[in-house]
Structure 1
Amino acid sequence: MATLDHILRPLPLLFIIFVISSLHVLPASATSSDKLKTATTIRKVNRKGPYVGLVTVIETEEDAFLASVEFRPDPNHPFIDLSGRRFRIGKIHGKKVMYVRCGRGMVNAAAATQQMIDVFDVKGIVHFGIAGNINNSMSIGDVSIPNQITNAGLWDWLNPDKAEGSDNEAYLDIGNYNVPQSDGNNNMLGSLRYGHEQLYSVNGHISSPQNVFWINTTQEWLHLAADLEKMELLQCVNASLCLPEKPKLVVGLKAATANIFVDNAVYRDFLYDTFEVSSSDMESSAVAMTCVSNGYPVIVIRGLSDLAGAQTGTNAIRKFGSLAAANTARAVLEFIKKLPSNYNVNS
């Protein structure tokens, strides 16, 4: 009979710690034998690796992705369930892929990405989903593949009489937006001071994080994605609901992430004018920073589903979210197709 030591000896140390510690905190319904079975399955799945990791966010994006006939589930191990998430295993264009829906927000995004990197044999992460459009030269239905992403939700809310310093990226003086405009003294909300992330990295010194405002996606993968700008994207949700112009794909813009759904025209303009970002979402920075921290390649592919507050009337995400997700899924499939042949793994 297999012992715990016999089963886990070939696995990475971090995963051994993960499994053993989990045995002490599981509810009564999750037995030790269940965890050992899962560990054995993970070991078998990893023997078939490496995989391209795929991380998306919500059901709309997942539905568009899984509806693609290009995704072929693994016949023996189509999925593994961990921490309430389903990690799906399969192939796209002959490349082995590992897919998970992380859930909304930066904590979910970082947690799912780190878990995928720690537990499974992945060589890089393709993160995809929908986003708000911040750039007037872009349109709903377009797809953006950014080269830089910032956490635009990392800021200090200042006391109104606190002087501005010089070591931060930007300020948002709320008093400037009073109607009618005043000198700001009558608005006690004060201002927001945007700060830096602390990036702990395998390439840095231990316990000495680097202060960064922008996280760069992987240049090699961006070069591969450049040819996608010529690809065809969907223009219609159905026969009666179409966009006025054919959508386009653009590589090399900037993106903003925060735990904030942006649906405000003035704040939208501030983000563009200050940081020159073209899209806003709630996960991309967290995925990218987790990958960079661990030394893994990462690319972000986001379809624009709405105007982030610049629209007349209600937000368009309910009307065009599915179309943006479908165009994003198309771009993901084409990107995987362009990955070099060394991402082909024999069964």
Structure 2
Amino acid sequence: MDHTLSLLPFLFIIIISSFHVLPVSPTPSHKLKSATTIRKLNRGGPYIGLVTVIATEENAFLRSVDFRPDPTHPFLDLSGRRFRIGKIHGKKVVYVRCGRGMVNGAAATQQMIDVFNVKGIVHFGIAGNMNNSMSIGDVSIPKQITNAGLWDWLNPDKAKGGEDIAYLDVGNYNVPKGDGDNELGSIGYNYEQLYSVTGHINTPQNVFWINTTQEWLHLAADLEKMELSQCVNASLCLPKKPKLVVGLKAATAYIFVDNAAYRNFLYDTFGVSSSDMESSAVAMTCASNGYPIIVIRGLSDLAGEGGDNTVHKFGSLAATNTAKAVLEFIRKLPPY
């Protein structure tokens, strides 16, 4: 008898037995349920992705628009966020509140792109005003956005050069003004590294400005004629009617800018008219994935002039005007 063959039943038992001691990691039932729901929803797409930031903006948006929830799956909860599915002006939309900051903005946008069948992203919220020709309550739809928080903080004796695109010399703002020397040195503004579907694999492109989608900006141009709200209530109104402007520039950073000197530096150096904490991250995520993006931001304060108190007074008005602009933009989008 072949002894090799005689050992086969024994080996077979060992192999079968080993299956019983291997760790088992079944897919949680809630993930399977979500996957099933996502497949059903995506068969009914594509959708317009809507991304806002904080509760003030969400409340103004849901209060201002005729949002018709999907009758079967009105929302889907993923990673602690609630993605609302429905229609606005007959257009299918997926809406989410991402939370404050660039990480939240990028994470929620990437998740929306990965999970849902979306054709593009409309990102909106409130922002600080950097431009003296703009006013509280105005709405800006920028053509370009930069990450103004990507810094090289240099020592005062550090020679300028390298890849930094601009410098903020802290000593220039000494009070009383001296020779400009200051131990805080200077801040060199640097580039983002953009990985994109249109670029070479693993070879990022150095970019300072992220462009929003030109075709969508053309659609938004007609919104400059729309009427925006002037009053928070009967006793609290702005001195003049707000306006909507398309084609300015915006800055994003993990900074609430409440300093007039820094506001003026940003405007004079980069020509930015608004500052927020999410827009460039959302726009960069869309550019990386090759999706259309438009950013709509209502101005709630003039940085360094009233600061947090102004935001508390007029933040809801800025959010309401932003929501009105988003609604009108959705109305103008062609059906998919």
Is there any run of 5+ residues in structure 1 with no aligned partner, and where?
1-22
Alignment of 1:1-347 (within 5 A): 32-165=28-161, 167-185=163-181, 187-309=182-304, 311-312=305-306, 315-341=309-335, 343=336
Cα distance in 2, alignment partners of residues 299 and 238 from structure 1? 30
Cα distance in 2, alignment partners of residues 179 and 69 from structure 1? 49
**CA-CA distance at 1:308 after TM superposition:** 1.2
Quote the sequence identity (%): 82
Residues 1:313 and 1:67: Cα distance change in structure 2 (over 3 Å): closer
The secondary structure found in structure 2 opposite 1:52 is: strand
Cα distance in 2, alignment partners of residues 215 and 154 from structure 1? 14
**CA-CA distance at 1:166 after TM superposition:** 5.4
Cα distance in 1, alignment partners of residues 193 and 146 from structure 2? 12
Cα distance in 2, alignment partners of residues 218 and 282 from structure 1? 20
Residues 1:220 and 1:261: Cα distance change in structure 2 (over 3 Å): same
The secondary structure found in structure 2 opposite 1:164 is: coil
Check the 8 A contact 1:263/1:315 in 2, yes or no. no
Letter in 2 for 1:333: L
**CA-CA distance at 1:315 after TM superposition:** 3.6
Cα deviation per residue 1:124-170 (whole Å; 9 max; x = unaligned)?
A: 00000000000000000000000000000001100111011153210
The secondary structure found in structure 2 opposite 1:229 is: helix
Cα distance in 2, alignment partners of residues 263 and 69 from structure 1? 31
Letter in 2 for 1:75: P
Letter in 1 for 2:231: C
The secondary structure found in structure 1 opposite 2:121 is: strand
Letter in 1 for 2:328: E
Cα RMSD (Å) of the superposition? 1.4
Cα distance in 2, alignment partners of residues 312 and 291 from structure 1? 34
Residues 1:69 and 1:184: Cα distance change in structure 2 (over 3 Å): closer
Check the 8 A contact 2:301/2:307 in 1, yes or no. no
Cα deviation per residue 1:94-143 (whole Å; 9 max; x = unaligned)?
A: 00000000000000000000000001100000000000000000000000
Cα distance in 2, alignment partners of residues 62 and 239 from structure 1? 23
Cα deviation per residue 1:220-260 (whole Å; 9 max; x = unaligned)?
A: 00000000000010000000000000000000000000010
**CA-CA distance at 1:184 after TM superposition:** 3.1
**CA-CA distance at 1:313 after TM superposition:** 7.4
Cα distance in 2, alignment partners of residues 34 and 251 from structure 1? 43
Is there any run of 5+ residues in structure 2 with no aligned partner, and where?
1-23
Say how many residue pairs are matched: 313
Check the 8 A contact 2:154/2:188 in 1, yes or no. yes
Name the counterpart of 2:5: none
**CA-CA distance at 1:269 after TM superposition:** 0.3
Check the 8 A contact 2:64/2:320 in 1, yes or no. no
Cα distance in 2, alignment partners of residues 114 and 52 from structure 1? 14
Residues 1:276 and 1:322: Cα distance change in structure 2 (over 3 Å): same
Residues 1:219 and 1:314: Cα distance change in structure 2 (over 3 Å): closer
Residues 1:244 and 1:193: Cα distance change in structure 2 (over 3 Å): same
The secondary structure found in structure 1 opposite 2:158 is: coil
**CA-CA distance at 1:304 after TM superposition:** 0.2
The secondary structure found in structure 1 opposite 2:64 is: coil
